[in-house]
Amino acid sequence: MQLAAAPEDVLADALQRFPAERIAISFSGAEDVVLIDMAVKLGYAVQVFSLDTGRLHAETYQFIERVRERYDLEIEMLMPDASTVGQLVREKGLFSFLRDGHQECCAIRKIQPLRKKLRGLDAWITGQRQDQSVTRTSVPTEQDDHAFGSNDHPLVKYNPLAQWSSQDVWDYIRANDVPYNELHNRGFTSIGCEPCTRPTGPHQHEREGRWWWEEAEDKECGLHEQNVKPVAAVD
Ligand code: SF4
């Protein structure tokens, strides 16, 4: 049986393959800071962006700031288009996702800014893991991203931690004193926007605190559509 590629090796391959201005880490959660920590220790000045939906917890903004200071990083905050958000809120209010499902609001606050950013990249790196949810069980370490790329503009997506467990992530965080969102100390496991995230109990899956009014199969916001195919078996 082949051993899984070490995340550091996947990361190093990715960062060597693409020029620094054409590849970036997408940062929101604990896994992403593990990747930032690894990239810094490998000696790369990696580009980092984060989606500022305007609905994040204060603790999440403080977390982003701690990461920026700790690694002396520029973190690009991607904001949604103000007029599109304004129209949604004017027509449907501030909590339309509770009634209509989260897809519309996520499309405006997350997908549109992400799509715009990815148009300027050839590859992006995420902290997705296979055991995060029923929608991520087949996430590979490297894939052609057909959700955000195209024939005219191919895009590669790297998920170096695809085969790590939550325990692996937290072992790394503790061993390397990596900054994390303090909401994790209050029972939050997977952290998104404030109105769509709540703490989970000890026997609940980590994604059960996200969009809890929807079915598990619907708990993706479109950032990680899986209509992307593996590039190579690196594991
Ligand atoms: S997670 Fe909730 S508040 Fe955030 S963009 Fe999606 S629906 Fe909107």
> If you take atom 8 of ligand 1, which residue's CA is the nearest one?
105
- Write down the pLDDT at residue 131: 84
Give start and end residues of each alpha helix (H) in the chain.
Answer: 7-17, 30-41, 58-71, 82-92, 96-100, 103-106, 112-118, 166-175
Domains of the chain: total: 1
Pairing of strands 75-78, 47-51: parallel
Give me the active site residues, please: 221
The reply to whether ligand 1 has any atom less than 6 angstroms from the CB of 118 is no
Tens digits of residue pLDDT in 55-101: 999 999 999 999 999 999 999 999 999 999 999 999 999 999 999 99
> Looking at the whole model, is its pTM more than 0.85?
yes
The answer to whether position 153 is within a domain reads: yes
CATH of the domain at 187: 3.40.50.620
The answer to whether position 235 is within a domain reads: no
Give, for ligand 1, the residue of 95, 110, 111, 218 to mutate: max count of ligand atoms closer than 8 Å to Cβ: 110
Tens digits of residue pLDDT in 159-202: 999 999 999 999 999 999 999 999 999 999 989 999 999 998 87
The reply to whether ligand 1 has any atom less than 6 angstroms from the CB of 102 is yes
Determine the atom of ligand 1 nearest the C-alpha atom of 196: 2
Distance of CA 50 from the midpoint of ligand 1 (Å): 14
